[in-house]
Amino acid sequence: MGIEERKERERQMRRQQIMDAAKKVFASKGFGGATMENIAEEAEFSPATLYLYFKNKDELFASLNLRMLQDLISRVEGVRDQKDLVPEKRIMALEKALYEVYLEDPLNVVNVLRFQSRGRLKSLSPELSGQIRECTRQYIRAIADLFQEGVRQGAFLDCHPVAFAEIVWSIFAGLVLNEDTKRGLDEGKDLLEPTLILALEIIGRGIMKN
């Protein structure tokens, strides 16, 4: 049946169209400032139509997170798989990967990090929240593997690899949010990159066996 397939394809395109519009609107107004009406207008649909493709506003937003998380995963796994680099260099390659994810779409990264609270995640469908959980597991796992490889080679001190991965991730998330907060209080310049580099240099030295 060619008709069914064409319809499904069209449906996916419209879904994508809504996500593109949402991404634009969320980036310019933030999660709270964006209204479903804004997004509908940008996507050239009525607000009601959005609900045929997404359960609610949270779920629409979280679907965008998923795209970002997948980008993150592929970059971090890329670093994990560069087995030729010495462990020390790979920590810095990780820094670069994280920063590139941020550069891809700074405002949405901030939004995503602020969004993922306990309360919000409860309102998602089990499928979507399962996918997010899986993505989180994956990039933490990739960082942990990268670290463990360094331990195996005798370069790093032996400590809980998942805890290490969470620390690296938290530094990234914390610095991103901190820069955003500073911009809210003050018109300071964006010092994320040098600070992130310094942080991972310190971390790198801190886990080196000497």
Partner DNA sequence: ATGTTCTCTGAATACTGTTTAGTGAATAAA
Partner DNA sequence: TTTATTCACTAAACAGTATTCAGAGAACAT
User: With respect to DNA, which residue has the nearer C-beta, 47 or 106?
Assistant: 47
92 binds a copy of itself (CB under 8 A): no
Question: What residues does 156 pair with on adjacent strands?
Answer: 208
- Asked if 64 interacts with DNA (CB under 7 A), we say no
Q: Is 157 helix (H, G, I), strand (E, B) or coil?
A: coil
The entry of DNA, a copy of itself, none that residue 58 binds, CB within 5 to 8 Å by partner kind:
DNA
At its nearest, how many Å lie between a copy of itself and the CB of residue 133?
4
Cβ atoms 200, 168 nearer than 8 A: yes
Q: Residue 50 contacts by C-beta under 8 Å, 6 or more apart in sequence?
A: 18, 36, 39, 40, 43, 60
Name which of residues 141 to 200 contact DNA (CB under 7 A): none
- For 96, the token pair is 């670069």
Q: Give the Cβ contact number of residue 12 at 10 Å.
A: 11
Instruction: Provide, rounded to whole angstroms, the least separation between the CB of residue 7 and a copy of itself.
Output: 34
**Contact range with DNA by CB under 7 A, out of 33-41, 93-101, 128-136, 172-180:** 33-41
Q: Kind and range of the H or E element at 207?
A: helix 192-207
Q: Does 205 bind DNA (CB under 7 A)?
A: no
CA distance 15 to 3: 18
Tell me, residue by residue from 111 to 140, as one string, x for binding to a copy of itself by CB under 8 A and - for no binding: --xx-xxxxxxx------x--xx--x----
For residue 157, give the nearest of 204, 123, 117, 98 by alpha carbon.
204
DSSP 156: B
Q: Is residue 42 within the footprint of DNA (CB under 7 A)?
A: no
Print the binding letters for residues 1-40 with a copy of itself: x by CB under 8 A, - otherwise: ----------------------------xx-xx-------
Given the rule CB under 7 A, which residues bind DNA?
A: 1, 3, 6-7, 10-11, 14, 34-37, 44-49, 51-52, 56-58
